[in-house]
């Protein structure tokens, strides 16, 4: 879907089935995917590996998606890494506020189409590559 080099995506998702579906579809679209099972593991990965994109669930143990993105933005304020936040809490989440406050590129509510997510990831990476 995107030209070389192969873009890397960190997926923070505690649900194994959901993370497998996300990984399979992103890899099928040419992305290199690393999965973290919670927000703290994602922070640890971000400290020692380079990623082009973060896709994170909102509800996770140890550190939720909002805390993960907040930690990323505070640790690397000039890093414009694109972020997609996934959530099953559509009615309870103020998506616009989170997007503005934490520079989240997109909030997607579950259930979503895996193809739609893959296209959103590609679009976010393209937009940030141009910027």
Q: Quick one: tokens of 48?
A: 């020692």
Do residues 109 and 88 touch, judged by C-beta distance below 8 A?
Answer: yes
- Global pTM value: 0.93
Query: What topology does CATH give the domain 8-124?
Result: Rossmann fold (3.40.50)
Q: Quick one: tokens of 109?
A: 């509510």
Do residues 84 and 54 touch, judged by C-beta distance below 8 A?
Answer: yes
How many Cβ atoms sit within 10 Å of the Cβ of residue 123?
14
Q: According to the model, what pLDDT value does residue 25 have?
A: 96
| CA contacts within 13 A on the Cβ side of 83 | 28
Query: Residue ranges per domain, the chain?
Result: 8-124
Q: What is the pLDDT along the chain (131 residues), one digit of tens a residue?
A: 455 458 999 999 999 999 999 999 999 999 999 999 999 999 999 999 999 999 999 999 999 999 999 999 999 877 889 999 999 876 677 889 989 999 999 999 989 999 999 999 999 999 988 76
Distance CA 44, CA 85 (A): 18
Q: Please report where in the chains the tokens 């089935």 appear, as a residue.
A: 17
How many Cβ atoms sit within 10 Å of the Cβ of residue 47?
9
């Amino acid at each position: 879907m995107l030209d070389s080099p192969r873009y890397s995506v960190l997926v923070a998702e505690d649900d194994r089935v959901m993370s497998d579906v996300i990984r399979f579809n992103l890899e099928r679209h040419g992305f290199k995917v690393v999965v973290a099972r919670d927000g703290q593991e994602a922070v640890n990965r971000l400290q020692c590996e380079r990623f082009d994109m973060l896709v994170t669930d909102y509800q996770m143990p140890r550190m939720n998606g909002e805390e993960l993105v907040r930690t990323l933005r505070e640790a690397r304020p000039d890093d414009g890494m694109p972020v997609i936040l996934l959530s099953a809490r559509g009615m309870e989440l103020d998506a616009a506020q989170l997007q503005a406050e934490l520079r989240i590129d997109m909030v997607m509510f579950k259930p979503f189409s895996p193809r739609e997510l893959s296209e959103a990831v590609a679009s976010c990476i393209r937009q940030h590559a141009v910027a």
